[in-house]
Structure 1
Amino acid sequence: MDMLLTDRVVLVTGGSRGIGRAVVAALAAEGARVAFCARDADGCAAAEQELRAGSADVAGTAVDVADGDALTAWVEATAQRFGRIDAVVANVSALAIGPGEANWRSSFEIDLLHTVRLVEAAMPHLERSDAASITAVSSVSGREIDFADGSYGVMKAALVHYVSGLAFDLAAKGIRANAVSPGNVYFPGGVWENIEQNNPELFAHAMGLNPTGRMGSPEETAYAVVSLVSPRASRISGTNLLVDGAVTRGVQL
């Protein structure tokens, strides 16, 4: 199926590795032009080089999304470079799990406020698109109380609330807004590989909660993101799409 993404311009934060990298690759494979950012300049450059080697039209930039001015400047530079912005994907997370005010501040600035700033910076351009969308990567930890309760879970829940409000407020402008909530996602260098190596008891517990007997891959979450970014999802707005292999037990009503 043609996802109708050819020549669409999409911005992805945290696009150099993990879920973000998979989202960038999947969007590019559908013909989209993708600008992505991450904090690590070397990681951005390497990801851009590898993706461009496969003929992807992508541009990677080192940006600390906690710096509002830098984030806004990146959005504007991207709009100038590509001539438009059709969609934004807010993927960066501080992964600040555990107690302490520092984790609360980091989770607020990076998980939540960066999403708000990204949307506000991109809004004038999204309003000119005929198929605009906003997608935020949340987490099942925003829906259930688990080991990542506290700052991480609270901010992930706030993201879903924020996106739901955007969906209602922007519907008349034809701008869609959705959230994607992954369960455990395993990839080399990711948080779950680190837990596997340094906290095997927690890793075994998490694996035991997965009824599929495995954790997910970045590509599986990317599929959900790309599906929501696609203009074919023109009637889907205000949803929180779980991508968790049935690990959550609650019923969405």
Structure 2
Amino acid sequence: MDLHLAGLTALVTGGTKGIGRAIVDSFAAEGANVGFCARNPADIEATEAALVGSGGRVSGTAMDMGDAAAVARWVGDSASMFGGIDIVVSNVSALAIPDTDESWEATLRVDLMGTVRLVKAALPHLQQSSAASIIAISSVSGREVDFASGPYGTVKSALIAYMAGLAFQLAGQGIRANTVSPGNTFHEGGVWQNIEQGDPELFNTVMGLNPTHRMGTPQEVADTVVFVASPRSSRTTGANILVDGGLSRGIQF
């Protein structure tokens, strides 16, 4: 299926590892231009090198999504470099789970306000696009109570609400907004590999809760994100799409 992404430009936050990296790779494979950000310059350089020769242009920027000025600068520079912006994917997370003041502040600053600032900076460019799409990566922890309730789960819930509001507010301008909520996703160097090594009891408990008896892969999440972001999903807006292997039990009306 041609997703009609060739020549469009997507911005992806947290684009060098895990789900974010798979999203960057997938957009590039579809021929889209991709601007991505991350905090580690070496990881950015490696990602750019790996995608040389892909269908579109790929450019990374080292920055902190909790830095409001840096977010605005990155979006503006990316729009100038690529000649516009069609898609934004807010993927980065502080992954601050413990119920501490520091976790609340980090999660609000990076996960929530990073997304809000990204959208506000990108909106003038999205308004010029005929295929404008906004996606936030939330989590099943934003939909139901689990071990990550607290700062992480609460802010992931807020992202779902924020996207739903944007979908309603921006529909008349032809701008879509959706949330993709992954379940437990395993990748090398990721949080679940660390838990497997450091807390095998928790790891095994979580594995046992999923009816597929496995965790998801970054590529499985990325495939959903890229399709929903694409013009082929033009009627999808205001949705929270679960990619969790049946982990969530609640009925989503």
TM-score (norm 2): 0.99
Which residue identity lines up with residue 252 of structure 1 in the other structure? Q
Which residue identity lines up with residue 219 of structure 2 in the other structure? E
Mapped partners of 1:150, 1:40: distance in 2: 27
Q: CA deviation at 1:57?
A: 2.1
Which residue identity lines up with residue 42 of structure 1 in the other structure? A
Alignment correspondent of 2:187: 187
Q: CA deviation at 1:184?
A: 0.3
Which residue identity lines up with residue 84 of structure 2 in the other structure? R
After superposition, the Cα gap between the structure-2 partners of 1:75 and 1:12, relative to the gap in structure 1 and judged at 3 Å, is same
Alignment correspondent of 2:41: 41
Which residue identity lines up with residue 229 of structure 1 in the other structure? A
Mapped partners of 1:205, 1:56: distance in 2: 42
User: SS of the residue aligned with 2:12?
Assistant: strand
2:187–2:193: 8 Å Cα contact kept in structure 1? yes
Q: CA deviation at 1:134?
A: 0.2
Alignment correspondent of 2:236: 236
Kindly provide the CA deviation profile for residues 138-178 of structure 1, in whole angstroms up to 9, marking residues without a partner as x.
00000111000000000000000000000000000000000
Mapped partners of 1:109, 1:177: distance in 2: 21
For residues 1-253 of structure 1, what are the structure 2 equivalents within 5 Å?
A: 1-52=1-52, 54=54, 57-253=57-253
After superposition, the Cα gap between the structure-2 partners of 1:79 and 1:221, relative to the gap in structure 1 and judged at 3 Å, is same
User: SS of the residue aligned with 1:11?
Assistant: strand
User: SS of the residue aligned with 1:46?
Assistant: helix
Mapped partners of 1:233, 1:112: distance in 2: 25
User: SS of the residue aligned with 1:128?
Assistant: coil
Mapped partners of 2:183, 2:244: distance in 1: 4
Mapped partners of 2:231, 2:123: distance in 1: 17
Which residue identity lines up with residue 232 of structure 2 in the other structure? R
Let me know the Cα RMSD of the aligned residues. Answer: 0.8
How many residue pairs get matched? Answer: 253
Q: CA deviation at 1:232?
A: 1.1
Mapped partners of 2:72, 2:66: distance in 1: 11
Mapped partners of 2:59, 2:69: distance in 1: 19
2:22–2:219: 8 Å Cα contact kept in structure 1? yes
Which residue identity lines up with residue 245 of structure 1 in the other structure? G
Which residue identity lines up with residue 146 of structure 2 in the other structure? D
Q: CA deviation at 1:99?
A: 1.3
Q: CA deviation at 1:53?
A: 5.2
Mapped partners of 2:153, 2:171: distance in 1: 27
Q: Percent identity?
A: 56
Mapped partners of 1:144, 1:216: distance in 2: 18
Mapped partners of 1:90, 1:55: distance in 2: 22
Which residue identity lines up with residue 139 of structure 2 in the other structure? S
- Where structure 1 has 5 or more consecutive residues not aligned to the other structure, the ranges are none
2:6–2:55: 8 Å Cα contact kept in structure 1? no
Mapped partners of 2:243, 2:204: distance in 1: 20
After superposition, the Cα gap between the structure-2 partners of 1:135 and 1:21, relative to the gap in structure 1 and judged at 3 Å, is same
After superposition, the Cα gap between the structure-2 partners of 1:168 and 1:54, relative to the gap in structure 1 and judged at 3 Å, is closer
2:29–2:54: 8 Å Cα contact kept in structure 1? no
Segments ≥4 residues shifted beyond 6 Å: none
2:7–2:56: 8 Å Cα contact kept in structure 1? no
Kindly provide the CA deviation profile for residues 8-52 of structure 1, in whole angstroms up to 9, marking residues without a partner as x.
000000001100000000011111000000011111111111121
Kindly provide the CA deviation profile for residues 172-219 of structure 1, in whole angstroms up to 9, marking residues without a partner as x.
000000000000000000000000000111100110011101000000
- Where structure 2 has 5 or more consecutive residues not aligned to the other structure, the ranges are none
Which residue identity lines up with residue 37 of structure 1 in the other structure? C
TM-score (norm 1): 0.99
